[in-house]
Amino acid sequence: MTKLKDIEVTPPKPLGRMGRLLKPLTLPTMYVVWAALAAMASWLGIIEINPVGAIIMIVGSVVTNAYFIGMSHSIEDSYFGEEALPGWQSAIAIFWIAVFCHLSFGSREIAMGMYATVLIFALFRLERYPYNRLLLFAAATYLIAVGGRGVFDTSAVNWASEIPAFLGLLALLIGCHVFHMQYAEQRSYYVYRNYELQVILQRLTRIAKRDHLTRSYNRRYIMEAMAREKSRADRSDEEEFSVCILDLDHFKKLNDKFGHVAGDRVLLNFAKRIRSELRGMDTLNQSRFERSFGRFGGEEFIAVLPNTDVDGARRCAERLCEAISQKPFLGKYDVTVSVGAATYIRGETIPELLSRADSALYEAKERGRNRIRVATAPDDSDKTIPEVLAE
């Protein structure tokens, strides 16, 4: 089963100002179209409507639409949530359609068109249960509007025409229910497919920045991390960072004696122990930036320490040395590590910083291994940079 964890999903872009202004005007525009059609039908004599009732519907529609438009522009302070607002708008629109059916005669064809536009509007905006409740509300209000008129005046309702009209509305509601189910199914399918694609993207991203053996960051990611820290330090006089280059002592002998499989297992457990130690130091020396640790090549690793000065780099290197030497790996392999540390000096390049740390590492090995050395300030007379670091 696919799982999604700690993944950054890019949200859809928010609507621009014009989009935010036009979005709540969808239903009000429908009201205007409905009013124009009703007025034309009344002028042609197709329908009859009480003038007082027409005024009530116009005023009520304007007031309710003005209210909802205001709510849409201040949604964080409104009673309605952003997701619930279309449901309320649709329910009020259906209420006014029922009022129109109650106060007019010969209006069923126009009313069916009104119902269809509202239900299509809501189909893409409401979830399953709210949409089904809206369908039931439409059927109930229509029955109440038409039946209520028949209660007060039995001659005012032509049941021979009202029954087919209601059946037509019922067919419309059933069709909308079926279409909404199909739409919801397709949307769920595409949401899940997008979920799977995000999982694949997460795995590819992890592969692209991790070393396949030690599961630490690879050289490319570490170089990018140092470039970010350099940029941050160059922008602010208060920001600084350090690097520690770690090299396992006599690792070639371990490979020759116990085999490359044992060597790989030692590298994997070495990386785990260093990462654990760096996380433990984070709880003691809080930094708002994450420490990065990765494999630089062969048995050589590098740790990038944000917000860390010379003394902090020395203490970190000492703790890493101690963490490696105090306990054998896999219960039988005694391993030590030499560390060269350097703190970034504003204005130098990343290869120059690495060259100083590498020189400190070389000095630590020359002095007997299983120790740390901290690089001094660069010598202006010597600008030679190892070719492998200058790449």
Residue 379 has pLDDT above 70, yes or no: no
- Give the pLDDT band of residue 133 (cuts 50, 70, 90): very high
* Amino acid in the structure at residue 370: N
Output phi, psi for 344, to 5 deg: -65, 135
What's the confidence (pLDDT) of residue 11?
A: 55
Q: Residue 391 above 60 pLDDT? A: no
For range 282-307, the mean pLDDT: 78
pLDDT at 356 (0 to 100): 94
- What pLDDT is stored for residue 386 in this prediction? 41
Give me the pLDDT at residue 135, please. Answer: 93
Side chain identity at 58, as an amino acid letter? I
| Mean pLDDT over the full length of the chain | 80
**pLDDT (average), residues 107-125:** 85
Is the pLDDT score of 348 beyond 50?
A: yes
54 pLDDT exceeds 70?
yes
Start-end of CATH 3.30.70.270 domains in the chain = 219-390
pLDDT of residue 270: 93
- The pTM for the full model equals 0.56
Q: Is 76's pLDDT higher than 80?
A: no
Looking at per-residue pLDDT, the higher value among 16 and 26 belongs to 26
pLDDT higher than 90, residue 85? no
Q: Is the pLDDT reported for residue 284 higher than 50?
A: no
- In eight-state DSSP terms, residue 217 is B
Least confident range of 226-240, 279-293, 319-333: 279-293
Domain 219-390 class, CATH top level: alpha beta
pLDDT band per the 50, 70, 90 thresholds, residue 1: very low
Q: How far apart are CA 234 and CA 186, in angstroms?
A: 51
The stretch 14-39 carries a mean pLDDT of 67
* Residue 344's pLDDT band (cuts 50, 70, 90): very high
Q: Which residues contact 232 (CB under 8 A, 6 or more apart)?
A: 239, 241, 289, 306
What per-residue confidence (pLDDT) applies to 265?
A: 93
CB 305 within 8 A of CB 222: no
3-state secondary structure 313-371: HHHHHHHHHHHHHCCCECCCECCCEEEEEEECCCCCCHHHHHHHHHHHHHHHHHCCCCC
- Phi then psi dihedrals of residue 57, to 5 deg: -65, -40
- Report d(CA 189, CA 151) in Å as an integer: 48
Q: What is the pLDDT of residue 317?
A: 92
Report residue 31's pLDDT band, with 50, 70 and 90 as the boundaries: confident
CA distances from 265 to 275, 328, 333 (A): 16, 12, 10
Mean pLDDT, to the nearest integer, of 239-266?
91
Lowest mean pLDDT among 158-162, 295-299, 317-321: 158-162
Residues 171-228: tens digit of each pLDDT: 999 999 999 999 989 988 998 998 899 889 888 888 888 888 888 999 999 999 999 9
